[in-house]
Structure 1
């Protein structure tokens, strides 16, 4: 599929998502469309955790398509207060983040998730996952895969840099976003030398390379995602 067709499909998918946003107007939800070029675009996530016996059921909400995670409103959010208000086991504030992909396609529930308001920040449900209590919820363990249920294609364009972690087994995880959670000053310009700052587990390596061809990182219902200790996130290649 060439980039023109991909872009057209992307616009159709996001137009559908935007249509689903419309009924939320009464809640004063902004109606921003997803930028065509996502690289270095700011967003934030809320990770909502609900325990059911020995299982942690997690919903991941994202500002993409609704707003760019306004700093003032985001800074006022209180994770413990949100968890108490919504009768959740825990709430995690996951951001600010910035995409290191160039374009995204989303399908099914990933494209049309329900909209929730967390304080003054509207968000849309983008992914779900379940883990056992002893495994912790998403992001609790660094360099450990989280199985995330979503249907997405992350597009990386030729000529652009990508940032990758390679496991001892040779599995390649491509960075999908960098975070300003641990280091509020981290920028895209810092990423090529990120490996010098990471305390990589034995056998892991970090690398930067420039793509010679377009690459589509696909999650057909399931994505395997890891975080480094700075909460930068990476998705495993499946081909």
Structure 2
């Protein structure tokens, strides 16, 4: 599997995983009202994902498991998980470890899918199934010649990202003026990346021509609403952003 395919799948897995939520952890408040899920106190909360799958005919079918809502992906246990152990256990031809990641939203409201209760343990870390992704041959071939970083992808979901007044937000600005607000940062490319690095993150980014990065402090709440579709992208460090 190429680096481009990995970038695409980790991005797609992250986006897909946001449509449903599992049981709450002790540090994250989660409420279920009818078909609405509301989660708060998310900023700088850590989570990890495991992706594995195989080809069915010409389609790559990948399952996405996440620690979100179950635990904070303990570092010692996460380090012991390898692609090979998961490949052997599940007879998978494709395995990727997506994490650690940290939320940069303060809360979220989501509607749509029912909570998924399928659970698995990877190296002793409990995870819930968040999504199953099918990538057809045409899309796989596209990825061989394209660069998915700094390219917006349409994600079909109904969510509201909540950023509280007084909180800093970190944004990418496209050449045409579109604003993309960071929804999570990752320690995949840079294992030492922390929230303290985000104000000066531009030094680590490989921004395409015409793009810029900025930090601003919110004077009032910012709600990013996706009604059926959200436009999201990743930078070269796998940090994820949604268009405002």
Q: Distance in 2 between matches of 1:184 and 1:161?
A: 22
TM norm structure 2: 0.74
Alignment partners' CA distance in 2, 1:150 and 1:113: 19
Single out whichever of 54-63 and 37-46 deviates more from structure 2: 54-63
Superposed displacement of residue 110, structure 1: 6.9
Residue 114 (str. 1) matches residue 118 (str. 2): yes
SS of residue in 2 equivalent to 1:96: strand
User: Who is 1:179 aligned against?
Assistant: 186
2: CA distance between counterparts of 1:32 and 1:159?
Answer: 24
Question: 2-side partners of 1:219 and 1:87: how far apart?
Answer: 37
Query: Using the alignment, how far apart are the partners of 2:114 and 2:105 within structure 1?
Result: 17
Quote the offset at 1:178 in angstroms.
0.9
Which of residues 213, 216, 233 in structure 2 aligns to 1:209?
A: 216
Q: CA 1:152–1:127 in 2, change beyond 3 Å: closer, same or farther?
A: farther
**What are the superposed Cα offsets for residues 45-82 of structure 1, whole Å, 9 maximum, x if unpaired?**
22334434444344432211100001111111112331
Greater mean deviation of Cα atoms: 44-53 or 201-210? 44-53
Equivalence map 1:224-239=2 (5 Å)? 224-237=231-244
Q: TM-score, structure 1 length as denominator?
A: 0.75
- Kept in 1: contact 2:119–2:129 (CA 8 A): yes
Q: Equivalent residue for 1:142?
A: 149
Does the CA contact (< 8 Å) of 1:80 and 1:90 recur in 2? Answer: no
The answer (yes or no) to whether the contact 1:110–1:126 under 8 Å persists in 2 is: no
Q: Distance in 2 between matches of 1:223 and 1:130?
A: 19
Higher relative contact order (CA 8 A, sep 6+): 2
Q: Within 2, Cα distance between the matches of 1:207 and 1:90?
A: 36
* Separation (CA, whole Å) in 2 of partners of 1:49 and 1:202: 36
Residue-pair matches, total? 210
Gaps of 5+ in 1: 1-12, 22-30
In the alignment, which of 76, 79, 82 is matched to residue 80 of structure 2?
76
Rounded Cα–Cα distance in structure 1 between residues aligned with 2:114 and 2:70: 14
* Aligned mates of 2:212, 2:201 — CA distance in 1: 11
Deviation at 1:144, TM superposition (A): 2.3
Q: CA RMSD in A?
A: 2.7
- Contact 1:110–1:151 (Cα < 8 Å) also in 2: no
Moved more, 52-61 or 117-126: 52-61
Match of 2:46 in 1: 42
CA change 1:116–1:144 in 2 (3 A) is farther
Deviation at 1:183? 1.7
Q: Residues 104 and 86 from structure 1, CA distance in 2 versus in 1: closer, same or farther, beyond 3 angstroms?
A: same
* 5+ long unaligned stretches in structure 2: 1-19, 30-39
Is structure 2 residue 101 aligned with structure 1 residue 97? yes
Instruction: After TM superposition, give the deviation of residue 181 of structure 1 in Å.
Output: 1.5
2:175 corresponds in structure 1 to 168
